[in-house]
Amino acid sequence: MKKSAWISGGVLFVTVVFFIPEQAGSLWASVIFGTVAALAYLLIFAGSWLKEITSRGKRRTITVTLAVLGLTTIASLLLWSHQSEWQRDLLTEIRSTIEKGLATQLINEPLFQTFRDYYRSPEVDPDMERLFRSRYHARIGAGNELEFGSLGKDHTLHLYLETAVSDTIMIVGESGYLAGRDPTFQNHSGKSGLYQVQGTVTREGVRYERVN
Amino acid sequence: MNVSTKTYRWLPWAAAGVIALAVILADTYFRTRWLQVNPAQNAHRVTTMIAIDAFQDGVPANDPYWTERARALAGILLFFVIGPSLWIFSEIRNHTKPRQTGDEILKKGADWYLGVTVICFALLLLIPQTVIHGVIMPNSRESAQKNRDKDLIRSDLSALGYKAAETYYLPQELGGGSGSFKTVAAGPEGKLRPVELEDIAGVIDHSAYTYLLAPITSDSVLTIYGIGEWTGEDPHFENANGERGRIQLAVKVLPETDIIYYDRSREN
């Protein structure tokens, strides 16, 4: 009866501690809490009952085996948690790189095409707005948002034709995924604090900069 | 006539170890995944799923992941509470019995076998995974770092390519080449010379890498190299800057046609 009480008590104690952290999202807090509670139970349990075994050899075997188990578990927790954190950060970095790369590519390319059309045109002082619209009119949607198929469905990057006049074209890019430098920055869409870049083409060239 | 019976005291341990191994192999072969109770592995799986959701949708999921939670808790309870408790209690009970010999050595009781099998299972599961993980992780990180460097170099090469194409078209009176890479007007005097890296380097974001232009032999084609710090696929590859084996990417700038494309033949 006493032995059942120990095992039942240990199970209950570890289970309660396991469920102390928030039970949503990451599992690491629960696993660490539960493992610490279980190791504490094991230490108390072994300390209370091992002395009932009079054979020194047997006690040593049990102690060494449980020590190996405990140390391996701690090493496993450290390695896996380290890798989890690294992998999560890596995926975040890859996503950021893709988002920034897409913004650069999708803004620079149409602006450069307009720049090239400007200097290839036989006219003396071509109209940049006309050149841009003649090539990209099909991509200009509601609210002057530029639509590119490469963005895919449910994309988080939004590009807007901000300025289109005879000597200047400006495209603004805003990311719904990346945070900007200034959380109070007012973005083009009306939201605030998001990553925003802009590209401008004039007859002097293309300038691309991050504004937030 | 005395018949002495040999006593193999390791036999019950071997039996428990074989049972544990058989269970692991059966679970692997039949892919039941019932025994994926390594707490750390389950926590890692959840973190990966959350990171993938954030990657795809931009927002991390906040689900409870009950299956993984149950598996992790089961692992903790089995490895540290139930297994050791059954083992120690059964050792205490067996210890009060007369010393066993011969065939009786295997008669340890079901609770002993259950406890020791759980311990053997835990050690057979955790030790190889931990060792392999310790070996594989540094290699994974190095590979990821190399890919990261390539991505950043690619990003800079793209910016350099567009800037070079711009310089190509820009009139000489504005410091460009008026349709040529060979006759760019440089400096306050506007002296004509081939385009140089300093004409376009203002767009480089990652100065830790080395960028250089190939010798200019054509009016309308320019090759730009980006060289990283890590070793590339071929350690004997001859880099454009005279070094050997480093990561290298190359972009060809053709302002009249494709604008820029990546030259894989000069990549390491």
**Would you state the pLDDT for residue B1?**
45
Query: If 0-12 CB within 10 Å is exposed, 13-18 middle and 19+ buried, where does residue B221 land?
Result: middle
Lowest mean pLDDT among A194-208, B56-70, B192-206: B56-70
Give A-chain residues touching B64 at CB under 8 angstroms. Answer: 23-24
Q: Do B137 and A82 touch (CB under 8 A)?
A: yes
Quote the longest CA-to-CA distance of chain B: 118
Give Cβ neighbours of residue A152 (< 8 Å, ≥ 6 apart).
none
> By the 8 A CB rule, do B10 and B17 touch?
no
CA distances from B155 to A75, A205, B51, B214 (A): 38, 19, 24, 19
Q: Do B79 and A73 touch (CB under 8 A)?
A: yes
pLDDT digits (tens, 9 = 90+) for B1-36: 445 455 677 888 888 888 888 888 888 888 776 678
Give Cβ neighbours of residue B153 (< 8 Å, ≥ 6 apart).
B206, B209, B226, B227, B228, B247, B249
Q: Do B43 and A82 touch (CB under 8 A)?
A: no
A66 touches chain B (CB under 8 A): yes
B170 touches chain A (CB under 8 A): yes
A208 touches chain B (CB under 8 A): yes
What are the pLDDT tens digits along chain A (212 aa)?
A: 688 899 999 999 999 999 999 888 889 999 999 999 999 999 999 999 988 888 888 899 999 999 999 999 999 999 999 988 988 888 888 888 888 888 988 999 999 999 999 999 999 889 999 999 999 999 998 889 998 876 666 678 999 999 999 999 999 999 988 889 999 999 998 999 999 999 999 999 999 999 99
R_g of chain A, CA atoms, integer Å? 31
**Would you state the pLDDT for residue B190?**
76
DSSP structure class, residue B264? G
- Is the pLDDT confidence value at B169 over 60? yes
DSSP structure class, residue B244? B
Q: Could you please report the per-residue DSSP string of A66-120?
A: HHHHHHHHHHHHHHHHHHHHHHHHHHHHHHHHHHHHHHHHHHHHHHHHHHHHHHH
Choose from B13, B56, B88, B112 for mutation: most chain A CBs within 10 A.
B88
Kindly report the nearest CA distance between residue B80 and chain A, in angstroms: 6
CA distances from B209 to A74, A82, B236 (A): 39, 28, 19
pLDDT digits (tens, 9 = 90+) for B223-235: 999 999 899 989 9
Q: Do A80 and B91 touch (CB under 8 A)?
A: no
CA nearest neighbour of A117 among B12, B238, B230, B259: B259
Single-letter code of the amino acid located at A184: T
CA distance linking residue B7 with residue A200, whole number of Å:
88
Please name the member of A6, A53, A86 whose beta carbon is closest to the beta carbon of B91.
A53
